Structures are given as structure tokens and as C-alpha cells.
């Protein structure tokens, strides 16, 4: 930039600040008394991309703006919580409603939004998906185990003493790393090493929102990057934990534990705190994204999100969409959990096209426990309650038979205080889940309070096991529960004995889509298929803070899309290690187009909704992640930041509103089917009314000379034509474009139908899922 241009830009920034100061000064005297009497709360003043290359100049600009509003530098310093100055521009500050309205009028301010709270999306899995690291001495083909990459974890912090985070055989910290090891309560600089190369914690937004100190309020929380909840430790070790032999949870699932990229470095950003089991504020999340961009991470794993309804992608209330946009623009792959609101449709979250959203599936490992009845019949359930007990054969009863009040419906699922202590004492109690207000852990507490010694909990299909701890618990389905109830009703003195759970591998068809995993289509942008992909997320064994006993193994089972998310983040790091120049879009494409649609029995992957069925793209996106094939995808679909901007244009946002977010000159193009033509590795046509043509562009990343043929599996009732049907690549032609035309063969309004387009050269099979819904009339 020449001196004249630099001087002009400096003058422009000074002019903006002067205009803002005048606007605020006009209102300062009028509102000063009102401001003093009004309660303030944290607001995020979002200003889009940075105005200054120097972060300190950006920070100074923020303070000057706030000083003009509040009347003094001291008031501004007291009010401001964070200055966002690395990946984008803005700040979080305590403002009254009137102050927020006034500062929003300033030139350069995109929007001012109140601080909100988000929730977390709460071993064998790596062998199951094909990464066979038998020890720290083996090398996964071509990937170097993620060596040299940096995975950022935005979560609840980390337990650094876990053996998963030792830095044995770790390479040197990359020279590009700009992060820090922030000290705090029970966390000092020695807790970082060549594995955990950085740790930061962000509390100001949460602290101000709750109006109380987190520490000392009945929580075990630490004012540092140390993890009190365990969620962040679990996700970090899943993504990049080092090799740990004989890892287990109380003897269950014993084996070699490791993350997807064992030699990748970890950067920890603690934003979620032990309030309501994992609360995270907008202000803190946005600051974590800002610092991760500054620090130099390659991949971000973010296992949290908002609920339905979702916000527009240019709505600053979706801080994950905004933060991830700026991260992606800087070359960082952002992987997020798809949500735990399944199996209902249209519940998927984190749906922005630049985010890689991950659904959850089961693996081929279960923990079975036998229930042997007095008539010698044995039925089976599942449990992870491996606490030793000496029950032997004891009385078995049904909860309604031991109800404190026989007319009380609460006894059916064993709610607190509903059981008669005299009748329940010393017995195993059978309870049936009949409401969303009760679960197996709460039921076990009620049975224990009434003197019961064991619990059998019958419920609808719900993936994931929870430990009861106080008494042995076994989960069964309604069919087994009904068998047990029939035995109780027919026997004069029903009895039962409960076995300890045991680990069984390879005997159950898998993967299955988890019942809780959120489903598509996206309610915000149905032209973008979400979720993108599926990965293991049920009963995942990973590192966990010790439970306060010397017998703690330092590992625990957790379930959720929170667990599937770091699986994909670890694989993304493996791909980045092998292909360091690949963009986030290229990495996402490699994962989606090589994913699997078949289970261990050779049939299609199934999903557990209201009734079991074959999984479709709204359940698993492109399919179940296949890391081996993703390393060599053959072709990739690439996307630039400008492509994402034009997609936002297609959603009806004008150039001005988009420019405010990106702080770039945006010119929205008037193109037909613009939303359909975003170059993602899937095709979704949600409103097919007449013949429609979609365009895609692929880049050859395989053999220099290659010939790919198109294989089409058309959705039922849809005619699909691909032109050209053959793609020829050579040393001079690496990028080619093709068109896919769709036309309905029926004159009926239909639901979504599914198909696929696969390009193959005989070695690679580059599969693109297709989703089409025909509309023959307006509803």
C-alpha cells in the first residue's frame, strides 16, 4: 500500500471515530442520569473484519469508542470485558439497553447483541472406523499420526495430568505457534508441554451473566484452564490423545486408548463452566475463536451449539457461525457437533456451510449384563455399573407394587419419594420409563432411598449408558421389561440375580445412527445438506478427571455428538498433516465423498428413530467417516471465501449486510440457482418445481492422468442427467466443471427422496449424496 492510500485509510478511520464521538456526545448528557439508574449487562459490539492490521490499534479504537459513550477512559476500562482484535473486530462490554442502542448507531458497528448462554452437546472407536494404531511405534500410512498439526479445543478445559496428554515422542512445537499457557487456579506453566502447547480460559461473559462467582458456589470449578466437568478432557483426548495401554473404565472396554491424531498438538480454550452442567457464553466463545485464529491452530473442535430455532448466518447472535466464518477464512477447519435433539427431523444445528457438522453413531461394542430369574430364565440388558456387589439372589418387585401411594402414577418410573421403604427394602425394583422427567440415574436414587438394592430400568430405545454408582443398574427395552413384569405377576415369590457387565465386541451390527443425534434437513438453509458426516459418539471411552478415589482409572464413557465431533477433528488433523496446503473445504470434501453407507453386516447403515429404518443423508450426511479413504479421495470440491459470500447473497441478504460481517467489498451477483451451486460435496434441491440444473467443480488430487466416469443412483421419481459423463484430467487440466440436471417424472407433491452421484476412475469412488423434494403446488 502506498503512502497516499495509507494516509487516506487512516483519515477515514479517524473520521469514523469522530462521527461516532459526536453522535454519542449528543446523547451523553441526555441519557447520563438514565444510564446511572439502569442495570447494565454484557453486550457484544460486533464490527466485522479488522480495520487495523495491528491488534493493539484495533484495541485502542475499541476503547476510544467506548470512552466516547461512557464519558471517560476509566469508565470504558471498567466496562469492557474483551477486545476482539485478531480474526475480526469488536468487543464485549457491560452496557445498559440505552447505551447499546446508542453505540449501534456508530459507523462501522455491524450490530450489538446481548450475551447469551450455550450448552455442551453432550478406544475401540478408532479400531472400528479403521485406524489401527497398535502402539506408539506404528505409523498410520502417510499421515505421521497428525505430527506438526495443532488442534484447538473450545470446551470445558483439560485435566493435564491425564496420561493421554504426556508428550512422549511428540515433535517440537511448530514455530508458527503464537499461543500461551495461561496460569490460574491449580494450573501453571508446567502443565503445558509439547502435547498441550497452549491453554487459555475465558470467564468474563459467563461471570457477568450469572452475576456471581463460579468458584465457591457449590461447584468444583477451577478459575483456570483446568477441567472440572470432564467434557473438554474427554473431547481433547478423543481428538489427539497419546497412546495409553490398558485404558478402561472399572475393567470395562480395556485396551489401548489413543486419539485420532496422537502426535498432533493441543491448544485448549476453556469457555464452558460448571453451571447447569456446562454453560458457555457468547462473549467467551467469540473470544476463544479470536484467540485461536491469532494463536495459529489448524483445526478447531467445538462440541457445543444453540438450539432450534437457529439464527441467520449473518445474525451476530450465532457466535459459532460468525467465529467459524472468520476461522475458515483464515484456513482453519472448524468441526462442530450436530446436536443431540434427535431423532426428530429438522433439529440439526451448526448448519452454516463452512462448518463441518457431525452426527453420532454406535460402534460394535456393547456392555451386556444378565438378569437371571427364579424360574432359571435369563434375559439380557446393558450396564456400565461395574461396582462390586454381593447381592446373590434377592427379591424382585415391580415399582407399582411397592408404591407409597398405589394411585400415584409417579411410582411407575420410580420418581423420588414415590416408593414405600418397607416394601422396597432389600429388593431389586423394576421401573418403566413413562416420562421425559425421569432417567435411570434419578430412578436409582429413588430406589436407593427406599432401601432397594438394585434397579432394572425398562425404557424406549435410547443410545448411551449412564453409571448409577450407588446400586447396580441394568437398562432393558420394553420387550424385556414386559417379560420381567409377566414373571413378577405370575410368581408368588419372584427373585432375580444381576451379573456384572462384560464387554462384548463384534457381535452387534453397527454402526447405527444414535437415537439422540440431531437430524436434517437444515431449517435455515435446506440447500446445504446437514449433517455433513457421521462418526462414533455412543459410549466412547476417553480421558476424564479422576473421580476423587485412588481407584479411578482416569477414563470414562460419554455419549453425544460432542463425542463424534472430535473423532472427525482428529481425522481432519491427519489429512492436514498429509496435505498441509489443503483448504478447510478440501478437507471436508475428502471426508464426505469417501464416507461409508454400509454396516458391519454388509447392509445399509440403520438409524434408530421412532422405528428403525435405513439411514439417509439427513441422518448421516455423506455417510460414516472412513479415514483411510479420506487420505486419498481422488477428487475434491473446493470453495473460496467469496463463494460463501455469494451463498449468503442467495439467501436474500444484501451486499451491505454481508459487507458489515466480512468488512470486504461485496457485490452480490444475480445468478440463477445460486444457492444450489455452492460447490459443496453434496447436492440438495429442496423445491424442485421444474427442470433444474446444478453446477459443480472438482479438482483432481490423485494421479495426474486420470479418467473418471459418472455413476448415478437417481432418487425415486426423479430423472437425473450428468454432463459430461466422463472427466479427463492430465498435467494441464486439474480442474473440471460438470452439470447435473433434475426433472420430476411424477406430477405429485413429494417428500424428500435420496440418491447419489459417484465419480470413479476404478480406484477412487467420489460419492456425492443427492437430496430432492418435488413441489407441484404451493402449500
* Residues assigned a catalytic role: 155, 231, 562
| Pair type for strands 533-536 and 512-513 | unpaired
Q: For residue 605, is the peptide bond before it cis, meaning its omega torsion is within 30 degrees of 0? A: no
Contact present, 566 and 239 (Cβ < 8 Å): yes
| Pair type for strands 356-361 and 265-270 | unpaired
Residue 449 burial (CB < 10 Å; 0-12/13-18/19+)? middle
| Pair type for strands 454-458 and 735-744 | unpaired
Q: CA–CA distance from 626 to each of 69, 156, 303 (Å)?
A: 54, 28, 21
Angle made by CA atoms 663, 272, 152, in degrees to the nearest 5: 60
Q: What are the phi and psi torsion angles at 223 (to 5°)?
A: -85, 70
Contact present, 605 and 536 (Cβ < 8 Å): no
Dist. CA 697–CA 768, nearest whole Å? 12
* Of 619, 616, 598, 606, residue with least CA distance to 770: 616
* Of 252, 258, 222, residue with least CA distance to 237: 258
Dist. CA 140–CA 575, nearest whole Å? 11
| Helix or strand holding residue 525 (H, E) | none
* Of 303, 355, 300, residue with least CA distance to 531: 355
* Of 233, 260, 236, residue with least CA distance to 146: 260
Dist. CA 187–CA 196, nearest whole Å? 12
Contact present, 767 and 758 (Cβ < 8 Å): yes
Cell of 166: 504426556
Q: How far out from the chain centre does Cα 668 lie?
A: 31
Dist. CA 148–CA 575, nearest whole Å? 12
b/e sequence 347-357, b meaning 16+ C-beta within 10 Å: bbbbbbbbbbb
Max CA pair span of the chain: 97
| Helix or strand holding residue 348 (H, E) | none
Dist. CA 364–CA 362, nearest whole Å? 7
Q: What are the phi and psi torsion angles at 185 (to 5°)?
A: -65, 120
The DSSP symbol for 14 reads H
Q: For residue 309, is the peptide bond before it cis, meaning its omega torsion is within 30 degrees of 0? A: yes
The DSSP symbol for 468 reads -
Dist. CA 151–CA 154, nearest whole Å? 10
Contact present, 707 and 726 (Cβ < 8 Å): yes
Angle made by CA atoms 265, 270, 273, in degrees to the nearest 5: 145
- The beta-strand segments (E) located in 233-288 are 244-249, 252-257, 265-270, 272-273, 279-281
Length of the chain: 779
| Helix or strand holding residue 584 (H, E) | helix 584-593
Dist. CA 239–CA 153, nearest whole Å? 9
Q: What are the phi and psi torsion angles at 248 (to 5°)?
A: -165, 170
Query: CB within 8 A of 159, min separation 6: which ones?
Result: 165, 226, 227, 230, 233, 543, 544, 545, 546
Amino acid at each position: 500500500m502506498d503512502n497516499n492510500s495509507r494516509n487516506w485509510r487512516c483519515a477515514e478511520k479517524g473520521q469514523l471515530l469522530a462521527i461516532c464521538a459526536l453522535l454519542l456526545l449528543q446523547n451523553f448528557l441526555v441519557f447520563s442520569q438514565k444510564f446511572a439508574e439502569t442495570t447494565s449487562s454484557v453486550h457484544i459490539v460486533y464490527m466485522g473484519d479488522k480495520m487495523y492490521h495491528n491488534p493493539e490499534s484495533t484495541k485502542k479504537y475499541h476503547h476510544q469508542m467506548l470512552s466516547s459513550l461512557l464519558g471517560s477512559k476509566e469508565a470504558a476500562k471498567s466496562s469492557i470485558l474483551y477486545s476482539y482484535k485478531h480474526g475480526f473486530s469488536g468487543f464485549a462490554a457491560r452496557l445498559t439497553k440505552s447505551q447499546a442502542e446508542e453505540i449501534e448507531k456508530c459507523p462501522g458497528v455491524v450490530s450489538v447483541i446481548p450475551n447469551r448462554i450455550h450448552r455442551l452437546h453432550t478406544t475401540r472407536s478408532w479400531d472400528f472406523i479403521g485406524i489401527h494404531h497398535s502402539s506408539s511405534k506404528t505409523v498410520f500410512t502417510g499421515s505421521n499420526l497428525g505430527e506438526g498439526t495443532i488442534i484447538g479445543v473450545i470446551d470445558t478445559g483439560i485435566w493435564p495430568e491425564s496420561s493421554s496428554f504426556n508428550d512422549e515422542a511428540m515433535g517440537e512445537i511448530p514455530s508458527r505457534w503464537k499461543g500461551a499457557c495461561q496460569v490460574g487456579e491449580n494450573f501453571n506453566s508446567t502443565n503445558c508441554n509439547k502435547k498441550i502447547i497452549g491453554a487459555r480460559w475465558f470467564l468474563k461473559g459467563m461471570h457477568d451473566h450469572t452475576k456471581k462467582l463460579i468458584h465457591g458456589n457449590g461447584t468444583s470449578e477451577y478459575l483456570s484452564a483446568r477441567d472440572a466437568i470432564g467434557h473438554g478432557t474427554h473431547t481433547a483426548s478423543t481428538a489427539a490423545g497419546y497412546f495409553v495401554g490398558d485404558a478402561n473404565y472399572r475393567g470395562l472396554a480395556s485396551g489401548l486408548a489413543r486419539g485420532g491424531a496422537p502426535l498432533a498438538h493441543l491448544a485448549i480454550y476453556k469457555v464452558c463452566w460448571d453451571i447447569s452442567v456446562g454453560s458457555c457464553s457468547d462473549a467467551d466463545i467469540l473470544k476463544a475463536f479470536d484467540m485461536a485464529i491469532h494463536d495459529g491452530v489448524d483445526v478447531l473442535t467445538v462440541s457445543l451449539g444453540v438450539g432450534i430455532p437457529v439464527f441467520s448466518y449473518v445474525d451476530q447472535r450465532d457466535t459459532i457461525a460468525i467465529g467459524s466464518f472468520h476461522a475458515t477464512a483464515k484456513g482453519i477447519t472448524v468441526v462442530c457437533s450436530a446436536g443431540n435433539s434427535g431423532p426428530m427431523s429438522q433439529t440439526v444445528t451448526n448448519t452454516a456451510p463452512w462448518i463441518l457438522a457431525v452426527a453420532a453413531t454406535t460402534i460394535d461394542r456393547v456392555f451386556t449384563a444378565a438378569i437371571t430369574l427364579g424360574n432359571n430364565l435369563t434375559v439380557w440388558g446393558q450396564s456400565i455399573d461395574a461396582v462390586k456387589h454381593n447381592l446373590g439372589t434377592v427379591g424382585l418387585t415391580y415399582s407399582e407394587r411397592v408404591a407409597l401411594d398405589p394411585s400415584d402414577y409417579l411410582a411407575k418410573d420410580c420418581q423420588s419419594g414415590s416408593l414405600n421403604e418397607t416394601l422396597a427394602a432389600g429388593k431389586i425394583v423394576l421401573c418403566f420409563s413413562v416420562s421425559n422427567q425421569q432417567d435411570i440415574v434419578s430412578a436409582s436414587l429413588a430406589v436407593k432411598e427406599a432401601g432397594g438394592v438394585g434397579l432394572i430400568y425398562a425404557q424406549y430405545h435410547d443410545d448411551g449408558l449412564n453409571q448409577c454408582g450407588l446400586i447396580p443398574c441394568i437398562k432393558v427395552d420394553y420387550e424385556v421389561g414386559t417379560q420381567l413384569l409377566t414373571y413378577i405377576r405370575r410368581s408368588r415369590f419372584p427373585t432375580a440375580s444381576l451379573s456384572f457387565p462384560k464387554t462384548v465386541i463384534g457381535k452387534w451390527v453397527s454402526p447405527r445412527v444414535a437415537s439422540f443425534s440431531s437430524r436434517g434437513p437444515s431449517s435455515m438453509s435446506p440447500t446445504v445438506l446437514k449433517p455433513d458426516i457421521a462418526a462414533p459418539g455412543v459410549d466412547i471411552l476417553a480421558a476424564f478427571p479422576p473421580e476423587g478415589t485412588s481407584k479411578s482409572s482416569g477414563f470414562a464413557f460419554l455419549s453425544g455428538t460432542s463425542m463424534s465431533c472430535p473423532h472427525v477433528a482428529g481425522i481432519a488433523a491427519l489429512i492436514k498433516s498429509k496435505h498441509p496446503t489443503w483448504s478447510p473445504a478440501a478437507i471436508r470434501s475428502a471426508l464426505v465423498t469417501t464416507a461409508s453407507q454400509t454396516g458391519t453386516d454388509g447392509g445399509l447403515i440403520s438409524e434408530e428413530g421412532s422405528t428403525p429404518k435405513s439411514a439417509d443423508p439427513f441422518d448421516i450426511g455423506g455417510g460414516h467417516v472412513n479415514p483411510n479413504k479420506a487420505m486419498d479421495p481422488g477428487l475434491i470440491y473446493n470453495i473460496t471465501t467469496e463463494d460463501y459470500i455469494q451463498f449468503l447473497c442467495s439467501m436474500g441478504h444484501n451486499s451491505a449486510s454481508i459487507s458489515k460481517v466480512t468488512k470486504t467489498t461485496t457485490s452480490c451477483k444475480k445468478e440463477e440457482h445460486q444457492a444450489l451451486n455452492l460447490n459443496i460435496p453434496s447436492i440438495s434441491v429442496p423445491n424442485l418445481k421444474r427442470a433444474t440444473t446444478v453446477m459443480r467443480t472438482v479438482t483432481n488430487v490423485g494421479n495426474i492422468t486420470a479418467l473418471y466416469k459418472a455413476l448415478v443412483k437417481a432418487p425415486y421419481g426423479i430423472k437425473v442427467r450428468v454432463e459430461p459423463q466422463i472427466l479427463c484430467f492430465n498435467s494441464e487440466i486439474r480442474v473440471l466443471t460438470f452439470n447435473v440436471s433434475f426433472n420430476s417424472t411424477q406430477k405429485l407433491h413429494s417428500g424428500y427422496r435420496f440418491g447419489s452421484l459417484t465419480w470413479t476412475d476404478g480406484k477412487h469412488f467420489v460419492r456425492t449424496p443427492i437430496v430432492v423434494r418435488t413441489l407441484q403446488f404451493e402449500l
